[in-house]
Structure 1
Amino acid sequence: MFNKILIANRGEIAIRVMRACKELGVKSVAVYSDADSNSLFAKYANEAYNIGNPSPSQSYLNIEKIIDVAEKSGAEAIHPGYGFLAENPKLGFECEKHGIKLIGPNGSIIEAMGSKIESKKLMEKAGVPVVPGTAKGITDIDEAVDIAESIGYPVIVKASAGGGGIGMRTVYEEDELVRAIESTQSVAASAFGDSTIYIEKYIEEPRHIEFQILADEHGNTIHAADRECSIQRRHQKLIEEAPSPIMTEELREEMGSAAVKAASSIGYTNAGTVEFLYSNGEFYFLEMNTRIQVEHPITEIITGIDLVKEQLKIASGEELCCRQEDITVRGHAIECRINAEDPMNDFAPNPGKITGYRSPGGIGVRVDSGVYMNYTIPSFYDSMISKLIVYGMTRDECIARMRRALNEYIILGVKTTIPFHKSMMLSESFIKAKLHTHFVDEYRDEIMGHMAQVMKADEKIAARLKSTFLPSPKIAAVSAAVNSYVTNLNNSKKEL
């Protein structure tokens, strides 16, 4: 096992990795920007290094600075978390060059699976079902028109190097195709530095189902069951659950075997996720994420496997914790992403100072967070505040518990997505598991109606609670207490 690792990320995922490190007796190194100087994750680590300007390109995306800190601190490995450099093959190549272990697959695999075109070719070769579409990048408009006609409308235009739904355009007729291609190329060039696009058959109202993969460096590959990620907004996930409500043992065997085949065929190692679209009894490879997922906690809860600890163990050369036949699914778990966004204003980001904070608790409730009372959410990064995860013996119990936990969750000072999640837990269609990737758009009126009622009730609660949070004269005393806590925390690090 490693003695020390660097976490090349911030916020809740940085703390999540550090917790795994502490349990394994591994020292952790944080890197933070000027905007994160007062962040919890920087205080939680055994060591923390400022890497400068808040701009991601000057800090969390700056491979040279991160490698430099790793070498100065004596970190033997780097955990990239998710986002930022997590799927950047250059980090993998630089780690290899400097003799640092990347906790994830090697750079060449990240590069291959990061290209939607290349990954699709590899999956076809491995015999994994793929969505009908082009096998190469497209730059010629006339060629694109011919391909779309042969596939049949509707089609979806995607950036080859894309992710997170950025630049995707759905096209229902030929007149829209040219504009969609030009728009996608422009966005792709700006966001990823690569304007290559491709076209696929657009599958209407599919479910988004993914399988968690674990693969060691001794040739062992397994899946740790499935997750349903169909509740999305503009291809960004909002709510995830495990297992999928439609999953049967037979379907899990079929899709899980395809996911394992996908990973094994490319010599994949560490944790990863194979994502599928599922519709009318058929499933198709969508993409492979070569990192830990935001939604990994729901898999941990239903399987009992600490996925981040497994990542560290695999990267240090250990064999997998278990065999495929040891994986057992127990109960149900749901995760709600709590973001600093205004759900009544098209989910516009709403950074600012948290003036009141109380997280939920009780049986079956887990909160992965990196914020605290009086913390200011910076405007430079993703708007995620926390992930609220609940467990129940059944899906119905899980939904009821999530309702209860959301009602307990108090965040004042910024607008959050809590009202949206409360509304979803009241939706009859969600409760009946009539899920697909356009659910939020289809049931928009129902969700907005619930939200209006929820927010009125929340405003009354917030008005009552404001007086229970600390008044300004006491802030100095609280700051002193926090500083004392941080000092004690720093002293305790020396004991590890």
Structure 2
Amino acid sequence: MFKKILIANRGEIACRVAATARRLGIKTVAVYSDADANAKHVHACDEAVHIGGSAPRDSYLRYERILDAARATGAQAVHPGYGFLSENEDFAQACADAGLAFIGPPASAIAAMGSKAAAKTLMEKAGVPLVPGYHGDRQEPEFLKAEAARIGYPVLIKASAGGGGKGMRAVGSADEFEAALASCKREAAASFGDDHVLVERYVTRPRHIEIQVFGDTQGHCVYLFERDCSVQRRHQKVLEEAPAPGMTEERRREMGEAAVAAARAVGYVGAGTVEFIAEQDGRFYFMEMNTRLQVEHPVTEAITGHDLVEWQLRVAAGERLPALQDELRIRGHAIEARLCAENPEAQFLPATGWLRVFRMPRASEFDVAPVRVDAGVREGDEISPYYDSMIAKLIVHGETREQALSRLDAALADTHIVGLHTNAAFLRRVAASRSFTTADLDTALIERERDVLFGGPGLDLACAVAGVAARVLAEEAQFENADPWSRRDGWRLHGAARRRMELDVGGQRHVAYLAYQHDGSHLLQLGEAQHPLRARSLGGDRFDVSLGADRWELAVYRQGESYAVFAPQGSLSLVWIDAIAHAAEGSHDAGRLTAPMPGKLIALHVSAGQKVHKGQPLAVMEAMKMEHTIAAPADGLVEEVLYGVGDQVGEGAELLRLKKPA
């Protein structure tokens, strides 16, 4: 076994690998960029080496610097994690050439599966089922459009070298094809340095089922069962579970054996995932093979009881697989939720900012348990625009799917993140939706359940206001032993004192009154209703709050004039409005179009003086590896364009100005 390894990655996966290495007595070396100088993964390892600037191309993608760091620290092997260089055949070969073990498949296997088109040709020869489509080298738009017509609409355009939904578009008709193709090629070139695409028949109501495979250097290859990853947005996974609901033993064996055949066809060694698109009737087709560990590997660990990172280390060190096929069993059910910095209510735009509050449910980290949290950040860390938007992974395990669902709901309810938009509440709604609870799964689940997943009411307003009032009273109590002139308990010689609370909730104003009674009790009035308020601190930010006949245990976090209230029923953010400051604010210029997140301006479709109509695409930004189109909110005339293609812009930066047409 290795004595020291270098982890050529960052964030959660770097911490995950370091945790297993520490358990096995293996020393670890972290690498970090400027932005990650104080990141969690740096402190999780025994040593750390700075490798460059914040942008991945200046650090985590510079493999010559990573190899220099490995040599300088005496590392014997390199674990690539996932993303960045994990599926880069040149990096794998460079490790081998430098005398370092690459904790992953051989470069030849990465190369064979790196091109979706070439991989499908290989899989066809190996007898693995394929979706009808065109996977060749010809890339002329007219030819690809003709192939799409031959296949029959709807079709799916996919980046040949891609993954994670980048460079992928579903196209419903010939009229949409050329624009979608151009967008896919542009995004593929930006993400993978290769704009080649393939075109396939778009399977309606597909399920996304993947098989975890593992091979060793002694000729053994096994499958560790399946994961259902059908719940997606923008072709990126939201919830993953194992085993797949409704999977029969016969179909499981059939898919598993097909996955092993795919792995054997390329001489696979280490951890890999063979991904299939499955019809509702059970028919399945090879989609791609990911030649690395997957983000969702913890659900497989939960149902098999095996540490897949340990398997990777042992196989890379030349050992036999820790278990063969007839020794593997499924135990219970596991679900993983990806907590991301994004705003589901704004088309999942990525968010950046500071984790002012980051409280996760009590769990074991990077280990099998009823509740597990895998995170690469801590409270106070920044989510920057340079890297992926995932904050953490929440994994639950139960004896049955129903038990796992119950544990997931409780764990998400106990997840408190303040400081930036996240998808935590959205995940909870998805997990509670009819389609998910009844396992009516396909990749369009989120769109199908849109009415219940978006625009939810959140926490009851009265409960949230009572939480703010409880926090106010707790802060006032800190002064109860002060002299009479400094006390803040609202005492008045004549009559009861009333405090006016003007609160902004999602852009809407609400006024409440907190009344201080002579006997020390309090009343809270919201609208016409007035109820007794009782609040007791439970320590820290937690309170036992009663409003009339209702009673809750709340967590209330304050950041300046902003309050975030969390309860088992949901959460709500409120801002206490300073009336004087608000009166001094100027009116908002409705003609401004601003960047919804930090990123790079990669396309401008209009120029100054041009007339535009409502919904017309004006510009395209790239942030966190995805493209985002900015459209005109109304008919107008472009008055001024303030940035050019290639410019980096901050969140809220004014990109261009519109005015009403004459």
For the criterion TM > 0.5, the same-fold answer is yes
Deviation at 1:39, TM superposition (A): 1.0
- 1:216 equivalent in structure 2: 216
The amino acid that maps onto 2:131 is V
Does 2:272 match 1:272?
yes
Residue correspondence of structure 1 range 40-439 to structure 2 within 5 A: 40-279=40-279, 280-361=281-362, 364-439=370-445
- 2:457 equivalent in structure 1: 452
Distance, in Å, in 1 between the alignment partners of 2:450 and 2:416 is: 25
Deviation at 1:455, TM superposition (A): 8.8
Describe the shift of the 1:131–1:74 C-alpha distance in structure 2 as closer, same or farther (beyond 3 A).
same
RCO higher in 1 or 2 (8 Å CA, sep ≥ 6)?
1
Matched residue of 1:75: which SS? coil
How big is each residue's C-alpha offset from its partner over 1:227-275, in whole Å with a ceiling of 9 and x where there is no partner? 0000001110010000001211111011011001110111000000000
Describe the shift of the 1:68–1:465 C-alpha distance in structure 2 as closer, same or farther (beyond 3 A).
farther
How big is each residue's C-alpha offset from its partner over 1:107-160, in whole Å with a ceiling of 9 and x where there is no partner? 121122010001101100100001111131232233223322222211111121
User: Contact 1:419–1:454 at 8 Å: present in 2 too?
Assistant: no
The amino acid that maps onto 1:173 is S
Deviation at 1:187, TM superposition (A): 2.3
Matched residue of 2:393: which SS? strand
Distance, in Å, in 2 between the alignment partners of 1:455 and 1:69 is: 53
Moved over 4 A (4+): 454-467, 469-472
Distance, in Å, in 1 between the alignment partners of 2:302 and 2:336 is: 11
Query: Greater Rg, structure 1 or structure 2?
Result: 2
Give the CA RMSD over aligned residues: 2.0
Question: How many residues end up aligned between the 2 structures?
Answer: 471
User: Contact 1:30–1:49 at 8 Å: present in 2 too?
Assistant: yes
Distance, in Å, in 1 between the alignment partners of 2:88 and 2:295 is: 17
Distance, in Å, in 1 between the alignment partners of 2:12 and 2:186 is: 32
Deviation at 1:471, TM superposition (A): 9.1
Distance, in Å, in 2 between the alignment partners of 1:357 and 1:321 is: 37
How big is each residue's C-alpha offset from its partner over 1:261-297, in whole Å with a ceiling of 9 and x where there is no partner? 1101110000000000000221000000000000000
Matched residue of 1:239: which SS? strand
The amino acid that maps onto 1:361 is R
Distance, in Å, in 1 between the alignment partners of 2:392 and 2:471 is: 21
The amino acid that maps onto 1:379 is P
Which structure has more helix as a fraction of its residues?
1
Deviation at 1:456, TM superposition (A): 6.2
Deviation at 1:181, TM superposition (A): 2.2
Deviation at 1:24, TM superposition (A): 1.2
Deviation at 1:379, TM superposition (A): 2.3
Distance, in Å, in 1 between the alignment partners of 2:407 and 2:218 is: 41
The amino acid that maps onto 1:135 is H
How big is each residue's C-alpha offset from its partner over 1:38-84, in whole Å with a ceiling of 9 and x where there is no partner? 11110110101111211110111111110110110111111011111
- 1:3 equivalent in structure 2: 3
Deviation at 1:314, TM superposition (A): 0.2
Deviation at 1:380, TM superposition (A): 1.1
The amino acid that maps onto 1:92 is A
Matched residue of 1:337: which SS? strand
TM-score, L = length of structure 1? 0.91
How big is each residue's C-alpha offset from its partner over 1:371-413, in whole Å with a ceiling of 9 and x where there is no partner? 2222222221111111000011111111111110111111122
TM-score, L = length of structure 2? 0.69
Deviation at 1:186, TM superposition (A): 2.4
Residue correspondence of structure 1 range 461-480 to structure 2 within 5 A: 463=468, 468=540
Which structure has more strand as a fraction of its residues?
2
User: Contact 1:343–1:419 at 8 Å: present in 2 too?
Assistant: no
Decide which moves more: 76-85 or 165-174. 165-174
User: Contact 2:214–2:269 at 8 Å: present in 1 too?
Assistant: yes
The amino acid that maps onto 2:371 is V
Distance, in Å, in 2 between the alignment partners of 1:428 and 1:42 is: 42
User: Contact 1:357–1:373 at 8 Å: present in 2 too?
Assistant: yes
Matched residue of 1:60: which SS? coil
Describe the shift of the 1:67–1:431 C-alpha distance in structure 2 as closer, same or farther (beyond 3 A).
same
Distance, in Å, in 1 between the alignment partners of 2:306 and 2:444 is: 31
Distance, in Å, in 2 between the alignment partners of 1:465 and 1:346 is: 33
Distance, in Å, in 1 between the alignment partners of 2:206 and 2:248 is: 17
Decide which moves more: 174-183 or 91-100. 174-183
User: Contact 1:137–1:160 at 8 Å: present in 2 too?
Assistant: no
The amino acid that maps onto 1:453 is G
Residue identity over aligned pairs, in percent, reads 48
User: Contact 1:12–1:370 at 8 Å: present in 2 too?
Assistant: yes
Question: Gaps (5+ residues) in structure 2?
Answer: 364-368, 476-539, 542-556, 560-662
Question: Gaps (5+ residues) in structure 1?
Answer: 473-496
Distance, in Å, in 2 between the alignment partners of 1:143 and 1:313 is: 47
User: Contact 2:108–2:266 at 8 Å: present in 1 too?
Assistant: no
Decide which moves more: 179-188 or 391-400. 179-188
Does 2:25 match 1:20?
no
Matched residue of 1:212: which SS? strand
Distance, in Å, in 2 between the alignment partners of 1:71 and 1:256 is: 39
Describe the shift of the 1:71–1:428 C-alpha distance in structure 2 as closer, same or farther (beyond 3 A).
same
User: Contact 1:339–1:385 at 8 Å: present in 2 too?
Assistant: yes
The amino acid that maps onto 1:7 is I
Decide which moves more: 172-181 or 428-437. 172-181
Deviation at 1:458, TM superposition (A): 9.7
Matched residue of 1:291: which SS? coil
The amino acid that maps onto 1:440 is I
How big is each residue's C-alpha offset from its partner over 1:438-492, in whole Å with a ceiling of 9 and x where there is no partner? 111121122114x4335969966985689735999xxxxxxxxxxxxxxxxxxxx
Matched residue of 1:153: which SS? coil
- 2:548 equivalent in structure 1: none
Describe the shift of the 1:155–1:27 C-alpha distance in structure 2 as closer, same or farther (beyond 3 A).
same
The amino acid that maps onto 1:216 is D
Describe the shift of the 1:209–1:103 C-alpha distance in structure 2 as closer, same or farther (beyond 3 A).
same
